[in-house]
Amino acid sequence: MNENTVKKYVRKWLENQPEVDQILSEQPLIIGGLITDFITKNRLGEILHIIECKGSVDIGELARGIGQAYQYEYQRRKNKMAQKATTLFICPEDVVQELNMLKVPKNIRVYLVSKSGTLYERKKHPVSKSVEMELQLPRTFYIRDVELNHLKDIIQLIHSMSRKNPEKLSQDEILDAIEKKFPHIAARGYNHLITLRSLELLDDRNLLTPKGYE
């Protein structure tokens, strides 16, 4: 199922949601922000849904789509009309096996589209609850919105943090520190951490590897 077909079924589903008054396609959440596939609003103009769609794609494209949805979630907090909005990632049910190999951020709801065009919410796969799983693919570099100077800044920050916690750092702890020290870095550096892991500069304890110190 291609992405346009998914979008067709998503629009039809949205048209049947009683609280939805407007369905807007290809709209940014904030000025200069990423372009969403769909945004819905109620009669008060409040944003209800922020949606990213993917077709029957490979695991790398699914990872990019989830990353895109995560950035919507980050940008949502900067739009006063989107504070209660739900971020959705929607894809065909025939990619669920690949989807189960990825960790979806807890604030993003995943809906699957059946062959007949029915949408239903995906139940979390058991592995997606593991704190060890991360949204990453070996040798797949998640470069979108990643600048090399930002990677350098984040590496230096992680090095500084690891002096106080040499055993392990949590991802949330790092993301919070990035947001505080480098507010200009997109999505609190989420994609940058994926890239660092893909390059084997960051290990599963979120500490720098020997390569990370080179």
Tens-place pLDDT, residues 35-93 = 899 999 999 999 999 999 999 998 888 888 888 888 888 888 888 899 999 999 999 99
Q: How many CB atoms lie within 10 A of CB 83?
A: 11
> pTM for the whole thing?
0.59
Residue bearing the bigger pLDDT, 57 or 127: 57
Q: What is the CATH number of domain 3-129?
A: 3.40.1350.10
Q: What is the DSSP letter of 206?
A: S
Residue 32: pLDDT above 90? no
List b or e across 129-155, with b for residues whose CB sees 16 or more CB atoms inside 10 angstroms: eeeeebbbbeeeebeebbeeebbebbb
Task: Domain ranges for the chain, please list them.
Answer: 3-129, 148-213
pLDDT reported for residue 130 = 37
**What is the chain's mean pLDDT, rounded?**
83
pLDDT reported for residue 124 = 62
Report how far residue 69's alpha carbon sits from residue 41's, in angstroms, rounded to the nearest whole number.
18
- CA geometry: angle at 104 spanning 192 and 212, to 5°? 25
Sheet with 47-53, strands from edge to edge, namely 22-25, 38-41, 47-53, 86-92, 108-113, 119-121
pLDDT reported for residue 198 = 66
Sign of CA dihedral 147, 150, 152, 155: negative
